[in-house]
Amino acid sequence: MNAIVAAELDPTFRDELAEKMKSLDFANCLACGMCTAGCAFSDLHPDNDPRKMLRKVILGMREELLKDPFIWYCTMCERCTVECPMCVNIAAVTRAIRGNFRTDSPGFLQKVVDDTIRSGNQMDVQPDEYMETLEWLQEELQAELGDPDYHIPIDVEGADFLFGFNAREVKYYPNELQNILKIFYAAGANYTLSSQKWDATNLALFSGKDEDFWKITEPMLQEVVRLKAKELVVTECGHAFRSVRWGYRTFWKGPQFPIRSILEVLDEWIQQGRIKLDPTKNPEPVTLHDPCNLVRKEGVVEPQRRVLKAAVMDFREMFPNGRWNYCCGAGGGALAMPEYTEQRLIKGKRKVDQLLATGAKIVAIPCHNCMDQFNDLNKHYKLGMKMEHICSIVERALIMPEKKPKV
């Protein structure tokens, strides 16, 4: 280890960072090492030690810190914060350093942010492509449901909720959006989609640039107001859900409204009897991944478990789970940083070991970002498992209501 030269330390750095964060929470650090003990990845590859990173902050080792690979290796999962006796949020510190002191945004992270600001969605889907996809899905659902009068509600004012989703569901996985809309149909949901701002994702959550972040998330919240919806419901995407909720709490000054995950809504509908499920349609053993942004950061822990227990015959927990879960290894924007693919897959081995221990055949993954990582892990480690979103599992078990004869 290199010697620390006092004359080279910058005592102003800590205060400068604290001002950027509007908080001094990291000043409470005891240097006890519980963060490193709690990090699931600290022993897997070099430069992945949260305690060392934070000590550089506290000591004012500006130059060493700003060259530290940890700043981009960290998945910002907050597993270290769960263990910290002083509740120091190292993920928040890491994000603040990324957005305010580093200019070397790896991979295509900043490109996706720029594309989202320009086009309104992270996949650069053009308005005509979006509307054509919805028209196609409408035709597919009319045929599947046997209901030629079925229409996807777009820009309907006064709905119970505006549904915000992930651009992947339009660009690459429209079949999954179709499954979701089918569930809405079965529940008799009073909802709307927006023709203007529909992508709830925001990779500036990971780049750390608050100005970019708010340019992306504010229009999503404004759509709720424009369409006079009672609440915003967000698809199975941990970082999309985290983005709108965190942005709402941190920056939003407009009218107040609830923001819920689709998993919370499904849980409510099942308990109310609005949708009925046949778990025999899902006989294979199923385990559940807990996305960090959805579970540890936003506290949605039990709804997805109740939904799965109603939808499958054999539900098996991974351990640890819930708030104590392990990150899949792709958090913090890692999927947008291909130069760190090796480290990402190494981190994923922790999750692979958990999966294999359950003996499950299907992994329920309520997050698009995590889904991409699990698909990579499935291929890289030759797991032979099936990776699915919870809505797809629910749709398979869905008992469609009897059609009422037309008068």
pLDDT at 404: 65
- The count of other CB atoms within 10 Å of the CB of residue 46 is 9
Give me the residue label for tokens 């480290």.
Answer: 343
- The count of other CB atoms within 10 Å of the CB of residue 287 is 23
Q: pLDDT tens-digit profile of 108-126?
A: 999 999 999 999 999 999 9
Give me the residue label for tokens 């081995």.
Answer: 349
Q: Is 162 left (phi over 0), alpha (psi -120 to 50) or beta?
A: beta
Counting as low any pLDDT under 70, the low residues of the chain are 1, 23-24, 404-407
Domain ranges for the chain, please list them. 9-101, 109-267, 275-399
pLDDT at 309: 98
pLDDT at 102: 85
Asked whether the beta carbons of 181 and 167 are under 8 A apart, the reply is no
pLDDT at 138: 98
pLDDT at 406: 61
pLDDT at 137: 98
- Percentage of the chain with pLDDT > 70? 98
Phi, psi of 286 (to 5 degrees): -125, 135
pLDDT at 226: 98
Residue 199 DSSP class: B
pTM for this model (two decimals): 0.96
Encoding tokens for residue 123?
Answer: 């996949």
| CATH no. for 275-399 | 3.40.50
Give dist(CA 223, CA 166) in Å, integer: 16
Q: Which helix (H) or strand (E) holds 161?
A: strand 161-164
pLDDT at 2: 72
Q: At what angle do helices 210-226 and 238-250 cross, to 10 degrees?
A: 90
pLDDT at 342: 96
